[in-house]
Amino acid sequence: MTGSNPYDLVTGRKRFVAGLALASVNLMVVLDMTIANVSVPHIAGNLGISPSQGTWVITSYAVAEAICVPLTGWLAQRFGSVRVFILSILGFGLFSVLCGLSTTLGMLVACRIGQGLSGGPLIPLTQTLLMRIFPPEKRASAMGLWAITTLVGPALGPILGGWISDNWSWHWIFFINVPVILFSAGVTYSLLRGVETPTEKLPIDRIGLGLMVLWISALQIMLDIGREHDWFADTTVLSLGLFAAVVFVVFVIWELTEEHPIVDLRVFRHRGFTINALTLSLGFGTYFAGIVVIPQWMQLSLGFTATWAGVATAFTGMAGVLVGRFAPMLITKIDGRIVLSGALVWAGAATLLRSNWTSGADFWTLALPQLIMGFGMPFFFVTATSLSLSAVPPKELASAAGLQNFLRIMAIAVSTSIVMTYWNDQARVSGSDLAGKLNPDTPGGMVGGFSIEQSRVLMAQLVDREALTVATDKVFLLAGLLMWVIAAFVWFAPKPKRPAGPMTGGH
């Protein structure tokens, strides 16, 4: 469709239904980033793997999505936004079903990679198509609907994932995508074919794409298997690390000299973009540490169900929905760096509230820091996104948005691997220290009424629970302090030259 006003072709009730379908897809893909987090203990138990291996379900999805995001612009221009959108929906649905049918970790991770590759283009394309079918005077409302689904997804994911895992089985966290897929694919095909975007044959940086896939895959495999193989003491892990480093250097050199790069690294010459994009990725990666650790600790050590672990985690998203609309208004009135730095200080303080948790903590002691954190997150996320994208000229906006999203999604995958490694290592160290102070072989080491063997079992359980609690506290102590360091890093960015109003292009 090459007409100047494609929104005239989809009007009234049809536009409402199409907008609902696009928003539903956005909600589904965002929700799938967090719905599996609280289900990791269920998945690990069912497949006979460790909880740390279970996090591969999270990292594989994020890495695949990160690889595919930079390709979205090229795919849309080459084949058309509507056509790519429909094929991506169907691919996402197919791999969702296969994830639910998985019987081994290998099959589940492979299908999650397929989900990520299919889901990568969906969120940017929902924005593109919403802007295309709504007239200028209604686009702000359309983006508001999109933003709401983006905020609700992380809140709904843990609750829904926990409830499904407790009452049905973890397989259904993937099967529930199917009705949304069928509805959205049908609506898009029947209503939006007429507003297809123009297509043209464009060159693609095949070598750059290949190099990117190689170094990202090697890095993530190294991070995932490193904690199981004593890191660089293992030849395979060391080889993967060296390979990732070498290929990354080659990738950077190639992309800086390629006429049509798959990732336009030249955008980093804008200091405002570089500082704010790094702030977004580092801050989001640190924030995501809590989303990964809290549900597992609550279930493994405190005996909460996946449902209640999900509810506690979801308070951040719930609070974010309440205050999300104020962030765009605030950053148009005062220096965005003040808002962004203040949001990170707030988030750091909320994170430090978690650093003195005990194994006897009740539900509200665990949920309150999440609620407090949520009131600051929209001011962090919206401001960092807006400041970074407002620092580049319009002609580079698409490249900047793609690179920003790539960094943020990679931060999720990398931080998940690093945090799980640190958490497990600290749990082992704390467990050894605690065990050294207990001796059930002595009369004083016996638990009243139990034999020495029974006492050993009880003490081992106690040590494991307390060791994980100490490790959890250490994770959040470091995360909170890191948030404050990132808050100071914000001030290396130049003062915004123009108001950083709410900008689309975020994934």
User: In this predicted model, what pLDDT tens digit does every residue of 346-382 receive, in sequence order?
Assistant: 999 999 999 888 888 889 999 999 899 989 888 888 8
Of all residues in the chain, the percent with pLDDT exceeding 90 is 19
Own/partner contacts of 143-146, CB < 8 Å, gap of 24 or more, are 143/502, 143/504, 144/325, 145/19, 145/23, 146/22, 146/23, 146/26, 146/504
Contacts of 314 by beta carbon, 8 Å cutoff, 6+ apart: 154, 155, 156, 157, 158, 159, 370
For the segment 496-506, the average pLDDT, to the nearest whole number, is: 49
CB 327 within 8 A of CB 383: yes
**Predicted pLDDT at 279:** 94
DSSP for 67-102, please give it.
HHGGGHHHHHHHH-HHHHHHHHHHHHHHHHHHHHH-
**Predicted pLDDT at 147:** 66
CB 280 within 8 A of CB 381: yes
Cβ-count burial 465-487 (b if 16+ within 10 Å, e if not): bbbbbbbbbbbbebbbebbbebb
C-alpha pair distances (Å), 199 with each of 69, 81, 83, 187, 196: 19, 9, 11, 22, 9
For the segment 96-122, the average pLDDT, to the nearest whole number, is: 89
Assigned token pair, 74: 């090229």
Which pTM value belongs to this model? 0.78
Residue with token string 């909460």: 304
**Predicted pLDDT at 3:** 47
Confidence band for 105, pLDDT divided at 50, 70 and 90: confident
Confidence band for 490, pLDDT divided at 50, 70 and 90: very high
C-alpha pair distances (Å), 241 with each of 179, 209, 236: 41, 19, 9
CB 327 within 8 A of CB 340: no
Q: What is the mean pLDDT of the chain?
A: 82
